[in-house]
Copies of this chain bind each other. A is one copy, B any other.
Amino acid sequence: MMRKWGKYLIILFAIVLSACGKPEAKYVFFFIGDGMGPVQVNAAERYLASMEGRNGIVPLAMNLAHSRGNITTYSQNSYITDSGAAVTALATGNKTSNQTLSMDAEHRYPFKTIAEAAKERGMKVGIISTVDIDHATPAGYYAHQPKRSNYYEIGIQLANSNFDFFGGGGFRNITDPKGFDPVNVIDLAKKNGYLYINNATAFNYLEPGAGRVLFVHPAVSDDYAMPYSIDMDEGSIALSQITQKAIDMIDNPDGFFIMVEGGKIDWACHGNDAAATIHDVLALDEAVKVALEFYSKHKNNTLIIITADHECGGMTMGTSYGDSNMDLSKLQWQMGSFMELTREYHAIRKGLLDVLGEEALKADSSWAFDFILTQTGLGDESKGLGFNSYEIKELSVAYSRSFDEKNYNDPYEYIKYGSYDAFMIAASHMLSRKVGIGWSTFSHTGIPVPIRAFGAGAQNFAGYYDNTEVYNRLLDIIKK
C-alpha cells in the first residue's frame, strides 16, 4: 500500500523538480592537479598515514567527494595528451591537437572558454596557478594560441582578458622575444586596470574593492613558477592563501568562477620525484579545503570540482624491490625537491671542478654520496635507506655519466636518466623504489583521471566520459 503511494509521489516529485529547474551553481571552483592521476593522490594519502606510523591512508579532503567519475584525456591527435590540448578540452569542451591552446587543431578559430562564458554571465573570474601564469593550463582559460609556447602573446591576452584575479607564478616573456611589439605585458595589465602585486606585504594588505589583481608570488624563480611546496620557506604564501585571497577579492552577489591549478605536481612527476609530488598534492588539497570552507557557508549554490588534465610519470604504488608496507615516511628525509637539490649539487660540483679538474673529480664520487645522504637520507641504514653493493654500483655508473649531461645517445640510458642529471635522477629513482613507488616514464601517460565534485550539481560529474564533456556539464549548471 505504502509502496503504491510512494510510486505516485515519485512521479509527482519528478514533475515538480523539473518545474523547479536544475541546481544552479553561482560559485564555481575548478581545481586542476596537473599530472595528478589517482596514484599521485593515493601516495599523498598513504604518506600521511605512514607519517603517523600506521597502515592504510588518511583520505584527502578532495577524495571525500561523494560524486566521483573518470574522464578520458586523449587529445585530437594523440592518446597521450599534453597540457595544452587537455586544458582546451576542460576549458572549452573541444578536442584539439597537442601544443594548441583553446583553438581548433588547424588553428583557424578560437574556442570560447568556460571562464569567458562565466564572465559573459556576469560572474567574476579568478585564475590561479603554482606555475607561470602564462603556462598552458592557466592560459587555456583566457588565451587562444596555435602554440602554447607563445608566452608573450599569451601574456598580452591575459592583460586584455578583463578577468578579475590572477595569482601564482609569473611570466616567461614580459616583452616580445622577437622584438616586434614594444608593449610590455605588465605595463599593459596596469593600463587595463590591474593592480600588480609581487610582494607579501601588499598581498596581505590586499582588500576587497582594490579592483582587478595580478599577483605574482614573491618567491618565483628563474622558471617563473612558485617554488615546490617542499622547497617553500616557512611563512611563504601558499596556494591555499592565494585561493582564499581570490575569494575575498572577487566574492560578489553575481558569483564567480575560480580555477586553481596545482601545476608543479606535473613538474615533480616529470622528474619522478615522489616527495615533491606528494607535497604539492597536499598543497592543492589545502586549497580545496579553503573552497570547502566557502561551500559550507553557501551550500545551495557552490560547486567544487577537482580533476586533472592527465596523469604524469606512470606513478605506481608497488615495485618488485619495494616494501609491501609502502613506508612512505622514509621520504621525510628529503630536504627539497630533486630539481632544487640538483641545482645545489651542480653548484657544489662546479666549485670542486674548479679546484680539482674533471679527471680527479670523476674519480671521486664520495662528495656526491655525502650530498644525497644529507639531503635525502639515501645510504643511511638507520633510516631504512641503506645501500647494497648493487645500488652503490648503480649510483657510481650514474655519477660517471652525469658529466655528459643530457647526452644519452643510448635509448636505454634515456629511459634511465631522461634529460636529467644522471646521478640525481638515479638517486630519485632509488629513493622511490626503496619506499615502493614505481615510475614508467618522464612524460605524461594516457590513463583516464578522476573527477570529483562537491555541492550544487555535483552529481552531474559522476560517470565515465570524455574530458570534453566536462565543459558542457559545467555550462549546464553555472548561473544563467
6 residue pairs of the A-B complex, CB under 8 angstroms, read: A9-B13, A68-B70, A79-B436, A318-B445, A318-B447, A390-B411
Q: Is the CB of B447 within 8 A of A70?
A: no
> Please, which residues of chain B bring their CB within 8 A of the CB of A79?
46, 55-56, 317, 324-326, 436
Q: How many copies of this kind of chain does the complex include? A: 2
Q: Mark A72-89, 1 if CB is under 8 A from B, else 0.
A: 101011111000000000
Report A's interface with B, CB cutoff 8 A.
2-3, 5-6, 9-10, 12-13, 16-17, 19-20, 38-39, 42, 46, 55-57, 59, 63-70, 72, 74, 76-80, 311, 314-322, 324-326, 388, 390, 394, 410-412, 414-415, 418, 436, 438-448, 450, 462-464, 466
Given A56-B74, A68-B68, A324-B446, list of 6 further CB < 8 A pairs?
A6-B17, A39-B447, A314-B318, A320-B418, A322-B441, A390-B411
Q: Is the CB of B68 within 8 A of A69?
A: yes
> Please, which residues of chain B bring their CB within 8 A of the CB of A450?
70
Q: Give the residue among A59, A311, A447 with the most B Cβ atoms within 10 A.
A: A447
Smallest CB separation, A391 vs chain B (Å) = 8
Cβ-closest 7 pairs across A and B: A438-B440, A318-B445, A314-B316, A80-B324, A6-B20, A79-B326, A317-B446
Smallest CB separation, A249 vs chain B (Å) = 31
CA distance A46 to B464 in the complex (A): 14
Residue of B nearest to A41 (CB): B448
If the complex has contacts A320-B414, A326-B79, A440-B440, are A6 and B16 also in contact, measured as CB distance less than 8 A?
A: yes
CA distance A233 to B426 in the complex (A): 46
Q: Is the CB of B63 within 8 A of A464?
A: yes
> Please, which residues of chain B bring their CB within 8 A of the CB of A12?
9
Smallest CB separation, A354 vs chain B (Å) = 34
CA distance A314 to B5 in the complex (A): 51
Smallest CB separation, A63 vs chain B (Å) = 5
> Please, which residues of chain B bring their CB within 8 A of the CB of A464?
59, 63-65, 68
> Please, which residues of chain B bring their CB within 8 A of the CB of A438?
314, 440-441, 445
CA distance A196 to B281 in the complex (A): 55
